[in-house]
């Protein structure tokens, strides 16, 4: 990657401590990339990072599971929690995949799993994600900035 000499490459900012270790439960896409940028809060890749499959949660980072508001997404969260182990309880960031409430089966399953989670933060449906090239472009939109503020408040409010 070619970067400006005065600006560190994304994800290599040594002065910012990793705060959120993001674990997508069913794949990487624009929603995952955008949530990472939302939680990064301008720290140039140092506060939030998407973990690779089977990568350990770094010491001191809050684990955050990312899933869509589908039954499949809720089932994937359940599978991850079955194997979770002694790590700190993760947050669940539940990203809406449609401009409607999650179906009852998904809501009930997530409600049943809440005791094994540090909390559940919901990101409203963001139609702008369907037409952007990347997360940086998504963050230029007011609706995404507002959702980012709500998400950060939710995760930092009870931490």
Average pLDDT (94-103) is: 93
Please name the CATH architecture into which domain 20-157 falls: 3-Layer(aba) Sandwich (3.40)
Looking up tokens 């040594």 gives 14
Please name which of 88, 86, 82, 85 lies closest in space to residue 112, comparing C-alpha atoms.
Answer: 82
What are the tens digits of pLDDT across the range 29-41? 999 999 999 998 7
- Size (the chain), residues: 159
Reading across the β-sheet that carries 20-24, which strands appear in turn? Answer: 48-50, 20-24, 62-68, 91-95, 119-123
Burial 125-143, CB ≥16 within 10 A → b, else e: ebebbeebeebeebbebee
With cut-offs at 50, 70 and 90, classify the pLDDT of residue 2.
very low
Instruction: Tell me what the pLDDT averaged over the chain comes to.
Output: 86
The CA distance from 154 to 147, in Å, is: 11
Q: Give me the sign of the Cα torsion angle 12, 18, 24, 29.
A: negative
Q: What is the model's pLDDT at position 1?
A: 29
The CA distance from 94 to 154, in Å, is: 12
What are the tens digits of pLDDT across the range 3-17? 323 333 444 444 458
Please name which of 151, 158, 157 lies closest in space to residue 48, comparing C-alpha atoms.
Answer: 151
pLDDT(111) > 90:
yes
Structural domain boundaries in the chain:
20-157
DSSP codes joined into one string, 62-123:
EEEEEEESSHHHHHHHHHHHHT-TTSPPPEEEEE-SSSSPPPHHHHHHHHHHGGGSSEEEEE
Q: What is the model's pLDDT at position 17?
A: 82
Average pLDDT (56-69) is: 93
With cut-offs at 50, 70 and 90, classify the pLDDT of residue 44.
low
Q: What is the model's pLDDT at position 43?
A: 56
């Amino acid at each position: 990657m070619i970067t400006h000499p005065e600006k560190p490459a994304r994800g290599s900012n040594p002065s910012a401590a990793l705060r959120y270790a993001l674990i997508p439960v069913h794949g990487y896409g624009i929603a995952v990339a955008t949530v990472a940028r939302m939680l990064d809060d301008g720290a140039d890749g140092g506060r939030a990072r998407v973990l690779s499959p089977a990568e350990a949660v770094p010491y001191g980072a809050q684990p955050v599971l990312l899933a869509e508001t589908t039954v499949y997404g809720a089932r994937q969260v359940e599978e991850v929690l079955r194997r979770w182990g002694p790590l700190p309880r993760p947050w669940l960031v539940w990203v809406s995949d449609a401009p409607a409430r999650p179906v009852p089966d998904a809501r009930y399953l997530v409600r049943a799993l809440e005791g094994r989670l540090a909390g559940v933060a919901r990101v409203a449906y963001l139609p702008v994600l369907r037409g952007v090239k990347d997360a940086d472009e998504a963050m230029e939109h007011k609706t995404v900035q507002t959702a980012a503020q709500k998400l950060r408040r939710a995760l930092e409010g009870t931490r």
